[in-house]
Amino acid sequence: MITLARRWGSLAALLMVWEIAVVTRAVDPDFLPAVHTIAAALWDLVSAGEIWINLLASTYRALVGLAIGTAVGVAVGLLMATSRAANGFFGPLVAMTYSLPKASLVPLFILWFGIGDTTNMLTVFLATLLPVVVSTYHGVKAVPQVLVWSAQAMGTPRAQILRRILIPASLLSILTGMRIALGFSWVLTISAEMIAAKTGIGKLIFLYGENGSYAYMFAGILAIVAVAYAADRAMVWLMHAALHWHDSADLAGEH
C-alpha cells in the first residue's frame, strides 16, 4: 500500500490540485479543462470507438517502423563492430545523420510518397535506425576480449562467434538502444501525423486543437501518453526477462 502511494502519490496529488484549481475557477477552464471533463471526453472517445482506429493506425506505423529499424540497425551495428571497412564507411554517415531531425524529412517524403503510411513508417524507420546502430556497435565493442578468446580456445568456429558470444554479451546494450528507439518511434509518428496525415492520434489531437474541443484534445494526449508508457513498461519487462542472468546494476535503472 505504501509503495503504491509512493509510486503514484504525487501524480494523484497533481490531478487533485488540477481539478480543484479548475473547478474553483482559479484557472480558466477554457485553457485547462477540468480533470473530470477530460475523463468524460476520454470515455466518450473510447466508447465511440473513434480513438481506437486512430491509436491503432499510429501504433501500427510506429511499431512497424521500429521493427524494421531495429532489425536493420542491429545488423548494421554488428557489421560496423566486426568489420573495419564497414565501420570506416558507415561510421561517418552515422555521426553525420545523428544530428538531423528526421521529422525534417517528412515534407520531402510527402513530396515523394504522398501523405500516408509510407511516409510515416519511413520516417520512423530512419529515426529508430540510429540509436540501435550506435548501441549495438558500442555493445559489441565492449565485449571483453577474453570472452571471445575463451570461446575460440574452446574451438568455436568463426561463424558461430557472433551468435553464441557477441550477441548475448552485448544484449543489454542492444536492448537499451531498442528501448530508446521505441521512445523515438512515438515521437516521429506523432510529429509526422501533426505535419500532415489523414489518420492517427497525432492528427486527431491536432484537429481537436484547431476545433477548440480542448477536453478531447487533452484526452487524446492522455491516450498516447498512456500507450507510450505501457509500451515502455512492456519493453522493460522484456529486458528483465531476457537479461535475468545479468549482474549489472544498470538493469535496475528504470529511466
Partner 1 sequence: MDAAANGATWLGQAAWRAVKFLYPIALVILAWAVAAHAGWVRPLFLPSPQAVAEQFWPMLNGGEIVAPLFLSLYRAFGGLVIALVIGAAVGVAIARTRWMRWGVDPLVSVAFPAPKIAFMPIFILWFGIDSVSKVLLVAFTCVFPIIVATYHGATTVSRTIVWSAQAMGTSERELLRRVILPATLPYIFSGLRVTVPVALITAYTAEMVAGGGGLGSALMYAQRFFQTPSVFLYIILMLLSGVVLDQFMLAARSWLIPWQPEEDS
Partner 2 sequence: MQGVSHIRVERLTKHYESREGRVLALALIDLAVDEGEFVVIVGPSGCGKSTLLYILGGFLRPDTGVVEVAGRPVTAPGVDRGVVFQEYALFPWLTVAENIAYGLSTTGTPKGERAAVVERFVRMIGLEGFENRYPRELSGGMKQRVAIARTLAYDPQILLLDEPLGALDAQTREVMQDELLRIWDATKKTVVMVTHDVNEAVYLAQRVLVMSRRPGRMIDEFRVQVDRRQGREAVMLSDEFNGIRNKVWLAVRRQAVAAAR
Residues at the interface with partner 1 (CB under 8 A): 6-11, 14, 31, 88-93, 95-101, 103-108, 110-112, 182-183, 186-187, 189-191, 194-195, 201-202, 205-206, 208-209, 214, 217-218, 220-221, 224-225, 228-229, 231-232, 253-255
Per CB under 8 A, 155 contacts partner 2: yes
- 25-29-34 Cα angle (round to 5): 90
When the beta carbons of 144 and 212 are compared against partner 2, the nearer one is 144
Instruction: Decide which of partner 2, partner 1, none touches 11; Cβ closer than 5 to 8 Å per partner kind.
Output: partner 1
Length of the chain: 255
Instruction: Decide which of partner 2, partner 1, none touches 149; Cβ closer than 5 to 8 Å per partner kind.
Output: partner 2
Instruction: Decide which of partner 2, partner 1, none touches 109; Cβ closer than 5 to 8 Å per partner kind.
Output: none
Instruction: Decide which of partner 2, partner 1, none touches 112; Cβ closer than 5 to 8 Å per partner kind.
Output: partner 1
User: Which residue reads 522484456 in cell numbers?
Assistant: 238
| Residue of the chain from 8, 52, 149, 229 that contacts partner 2 (CB under 8 A) | 149
Per CB under 8 A, 151 contacts partner 2: yes
Contact stretch for partner 2 (CB under 8 A) within 78-86, 116-124, 220-228, 241-249 = 241-249
Q: How much is the CA Rg of the chain, to the nearest whole Å?
A: 22
Q: Are 188 and 177 within 8 A, CB to CB?
A: no
Per CB under 8 A, 31 contacts partner 2: no
Q: Are 94 and 158 within 8 A, CB to CB?
A: no
Give contact residues for partner 2 (rule: CB under 8 A): 144, 146-147, 149-157, 165, 168-169, 171, 245-247
